[in-house]
Amino acid sequence: MSKFEEKTIKTKEIFNGKIIKVSVDDVRLPNGETSIRELVKHQGAVAVIAVTEDKRFIMVEQYRKPLEKALVEVPAGKLEPNEAPEVTAIRELEEETGFTTEHLEYVTSFYTTPGFCDELIYLYYTDKLIPLTEEKALDEDEFLECQSYTMAELDDLIKRERIHDLKTMYAVQYLKLRGFD
Amino acid sequence: MSKFEEKTIKTKEIFNGKIIKVSVDDVRLPNGETSIRELVKHQGAVAVIAVTEDKRFIMVEQYRKPLEKALVEVPAGKLEPNEAPEVTAIRELEEETGFTTEHLEYVTSFYTTPGFCDELIYLYYTDKLIPLTEEKALDEDEFLECQSYTMAELDDLIKRERIHDLKTMYAVQYLKLRGFD
């Protein structure tokens, strides 16, 4: 038994969407009392740190509807059911940046919001980029702009909150600890 | 107008919970087509990096129902409506760790999952901890264990995926870049 385990008494399904599923669980607390937990299920995702030969960092800018503004982020995308994360990572890299790679390095994984959602992101790194000869299609409802930046530019984007999501801010710290400046 | 803006045509409310609200929006895409966006609203949260005089890092372990396991994380908690983040940060520090502080340093803020949720976390730092003489009550459905670790121990917890959430992994990188080892 896991520490402080909360056993499910009943699950009520609220929403079964394309991106998320929502349920409300009645749970038995460690002290025997009951409570409810609001839970979001997500397929998981990948993100790719892509570094060019001249040590520039490739980012994509896209509109984020929940925030009603565009953010600059590391290339990323959702896992398809039963898809290996490395496969998703290569596909998203190709679609979003126009590069591919034969050298994808696994960095780490992390839960983005463990309090209410099970989304797990797998983070990869590559500095061996190969330009694609043909552009790959994005999802039909996906619009983004791809650009590369120096570390000083990334620092400035963070300061101005144009980069403002945790996975990208983690990626920038990771690059600094890896020796990029 | 923000780049690639997606204008809301219609909002359908799905769920209005204690922690999250869920809606599905019909949106007009930049190319004139329509699509849907599944959106989760969250009040936002704070997290606190708390460092003891002998350079140990205070973490809390708690069960995370979405993952069906316990994780070790930086002390954190949800904002109350209209509450200043620094007030939440002090309250969560006091409730979860038994320490308070008069020197809370703002580090940064970040969106945890901008693709589908507007949760924003404010991150703070303190290395001026004052032990409370009386224990503060946790929320009635909250069970956790507080412990302090060395940096080597944090690295090991990450390796073993006992620390596995993005805000805590960001905090550990932040501490390293700040010179802790």
Please write the tens of the pLDDT for every residue from B8-63.
999 999 999 999 999 999 999 999 999 999 999 999 999 999 999 999 999 999 99
Distance CA A84, CA A105 (A): 14
The C-alpha of B60 sits at a distance from chain A's nearest C-alpha, in angstroms, of: 12
Of the listed ranges A165-174, B74-83, B133-142, the one predicted with least confidence: B133-142
Nearest Cα of chain B lies from the Cα of A103 at a distance, in angstroms, of 23
pTM exceeding the 0.90 threshold for the entire prediction: yes
Predicted local distance difference test score (pLDDT) of residue B2:
74
Catalytic residue check, B140: yes
Region of residue A12 (phi > 0: left; psi between -120 and 50: alpha; otherwise: beta) = beta
Instruction: For chain A, give every residue range classified as CATH 3.90.79.10.
Output: 45-177
Contact B165 A6 (CB under 8 A): no
Task: Please choose, from the candidates A173, A135, A180, A4, the residue with its C-alpha nearest in 3D space to the C-alpha of residue B169.
Answer: A173
Q: Please name the residue of chain B whose CA is at the shortest distance from the CA of residue A142.
A: B29
> Are A3 and B61 a contacting pair, CB within 8 Å?
yes
CA–CA separation, A89 and A124 (whole Å): 7
What is the spatial distance between Cα B84 and Cα B124, in angstroms, rounded to a whole number?
13
User: Rounded to whole angstroms, how far apart are CA atoms B150 and B58?
Assistant: 9
Length of chain A: 181
- How much is the pLDDT for A137? 87
Out of B13, B53, B135, B140, the active site residue is B140
Structure tokens at A154: 């990334």
How does DSSP assign A3-31, residue by residue?
Answer: TT--EEEEEEEEEE-SSEEEEEEEEE-TT
CA distance A151 to chain B (A): 15
Closest by CA to A80, choosing from A146, A14, A139, A40, is A139
pLDDT per residue over B84-143, tens digit each? 999 999 999 999 999 999 999 999 999 999 999 999 999 999 999 999 998 888 888 889
User: What average pLDDT score do residues A62-77 get?
Assistant: 98
CA distance B123 to B64: 20
From the list B5, B14, B173, which residue is nearest A15 (CB)? Answer: B14
User: DSSP of B43-77, one letter per residue?
Assistant: --EEEEEEB-TTS-EEEEEEEETTTTEEEEE--EE
Confidence of residue B1 (pLDDT cuts 50, 70, 90): low
Looking at residue A1, its pLDDT comes to 55
Pairing of strands A76-78, B130-131: unpaired
Asked whether the beta carbons of residue B65 and residue A25 sit closer than 8 angstroms, the reply is yes
B79: distance to nearest CA of chain A, Å?
13
Residues of chain B contacting A159 with CB distance shorter than 8 Å:
none
Of the pLDDT bands very low, low, confident and very high (cuts 50, 70, 90), residue A49 is very high
> Pick from B82, B75, B21, B36: which is nearest to A141 by CA?
B36
Query: Has residue A89 got a pLDDT over 60?
Result: yes
Structure tokens at A14: 């609220």
User: How many residue contacts between A and B have a Cβ separation below 8 Å?
Assistant: 203
- Which residues of chain A are within 8 Å of residue B117 when distances are taken between CB atoms? 40, 66, 113, 117
- Residue with token string 């209005």: B16
Contacts of A140 in chain B (CB under 8 A): 33, 35
pLDDT score recorded for residue B12: 98
pLDDT at A160 over 70: yes
Active site residues of A: 140
With beta carbons under 8 A apart, name residues in chain A contacting B38. Answer: 15, 17-20
A3-38 pLDDT, tens digit per residue, is 899 999 999 999 999 999 999 999 999 999 999 999
In sequence order, which residues have a C-beta less than 8 Å from that of residue A85 and are 6 or more positions away?
Answer: A44, A46, A79, A122, A124
pLDDT of residue A60: 98
Which pLDDT belongs to residue B50? 98
Q: What are phi and psi of B177, to 5 degrees?
A: -65, -25
Name which of B18, B64, B115 is nearest A64 (Cβ-Cβ): B115
With contact defined as beta carbons under 8 Å apart, do B47 and B167 qualify?
yes
Nearest-by-Cβ selection for A141 from B29, B64, B69: B29
Tell me, what's the pLDDT at B102?
96
Are the beta carbons of A37 and B65 separated by less than 8 Å? yes
CB atoms within 10 A of CB A167: 23
CA distance A25 to A19: 20
Question: Between A62, A73, A112, which is nearest B112 by CB?
Answer: A112
When the candidates are 3.50.50.60, 3.30.2310.20, 3.90.79.10, 3.30.70.100, the CATH number that belongs to B45-177 is 3.90.79.10
ipTM over 0.95: yes
Do the chains contact at B164 and A111, CB–CB below 8 Å? Answer: yes
Nearest to A35 among B14, B108, B141 (CB): B141
